Amino acid sequence: MNLDDATRQRIESIIASDRTVLFMKGTREQPQCGFSATVVGILDRLLPSYTTVNVLADSALREGIKTFSSWPTIPQLYVGGEFLGGCDIIQESFSSGELQRSLGVESGADGAPGITITDAAAEALRGLEAQAAGRDLHLQIDARFTSGLFFGPSEEGDLRVESNGVTLCLDPISAARADGLVLDAETTPEGPAFRIDNPNAPQVRQMSVKELAAKIESGEAIELFDVRTPEERATALIEGSRFHDEDAARRIAELPRDALLVFHCHHGGRSQKAAEHYAALGFRNVWNVTGGIDAWSLEIDPAVPRY
């Protein structure tokens, strides 16, 4: 199939729209084939957000991406503009840790985390274990720090944690997100339920423009990123900020996890989402500028145009 210029440009624009783009059948929430579901499951474990493109909704795009990448099947994963492969390759690169390195995320914990299981939770879990037919109890934590408990067979590399007479199995990625976690049980109107308190869940703190100005004035080491569009940045910018593009994303991936990361946009909404993304990747000192550059114009530097 020949790829027309319009379709090629459209595909290039989609790939450039986000660092991680998955062309798939269906959506992230509802994959429409097992291969797409497998890759989504892997990405969900590693990334809090990424872009998916449903090729079933557009036949030109479905055939065009195969020609564009010289790859005959769907799904197809692009990271940083580079084609990484389809389902089998993604599974292999995930198992080897190469995918994690490409995405700039940590591969996982080397040792078992400290987890506390309360008396109430231990009693409830022991009751469930009696019905589990010898299967192991697993705790899985995805990139959005959504936790899941389930019974199933163990896999090579799983880590085991014992607390209050109950043994949990965790994959290394979940283990890296679980240190200090407390598993409790409570009674709700719908019946008994487990409650998980995870101190590692990503937190984005809010910084006022006055606080930001003080940090810039003091010369404190700060990584300030502007997540607006190039057109907005051409209209108004905060001196010293860096445009959040692919080069900036690669730079952030190389920074220590305790680096001071600050994000701003026009009013604070888009930068909040960007900050949450990096907090979920393990960065511990992430801030969003409240009010964005509009507040900067009003409170700090009226010479910066408002729009």
Q: Over the stretch 229-270, which tens digit does the pLDDT of each residue have? A: 999 999 999 999 999 998 999 899 889 888 999 999 999 999
Q: Tokens at residue 92, please?
A: 């292999």
Mean pLDDT of 271-293: 91
- CATH: 3.40.50.150, 3.30.365.10, 3.40.50.2300, 2.60.300.12. Which one for 115-197? 2.60.300.12
Using CA atoms, how far apart are residues 57 and 22, in angstroms rounded to an integer? 14
CA distance 129 to 7: 54
- The torsion defined by the Cα of 85, 86, 92 and 93, in degrees rounded to 10, comes to 40
Handedness of CA 91, 176, 285, 96 (dihedral sign): negative
Q: Which CATH number fits domain 205-299: 2.60.40.10, 1.10.240.10, 1.10.10.10, 3.40.250.10?
A: 3.40.250.10
Does the structure show a pLDDT above 90 at 169?
yes
Neighbours of 249 (CB within 10 A): 18
Q: Which two tokens stand for residue 74?
A: 């769907």
Give pLDDT, residue 1.
64
**pLDDT computed for residue 187 by the predictor:** 80
From-to residues of CATH 3.40.30.10 in the chain = 5-103
- In the chain, CATH 3.40.250.10 covers 205-299
Per-residue pLDDT at 175: 94
The residue whose two tokens read 């408990």 is 149
* Share of residues in the chain with pLDDT > 90 (%): 77
Q: Considering only CA atoms, which of 230, 291, 295, 288 is closest in space to residue 261?
A: 288
Residue 3 binned pLDDT confidence (cut-offs 50, 70, 90): confident
- Per-residue pLDDT, averaged over 145-153, amounts to 92
Q: What is the mean pLDDT of the chain?
A: 93
pLDDT band at 148 (very low <50, low <70, confident <90, very high): very high
Residue ranges of the chain assigned to CATH 2.60.300.12 = 115-197
Count CA atoms closer than 13 A to 288's CA, side-chain side.
22
Q: What is the CATH number of domain 5-103?
A: 3.40.30.10
Overall average pLDDT of the 64-77 stretch: 96
Lowest mean pLDDT among 86-95, 98-107, 262-271: 98-107
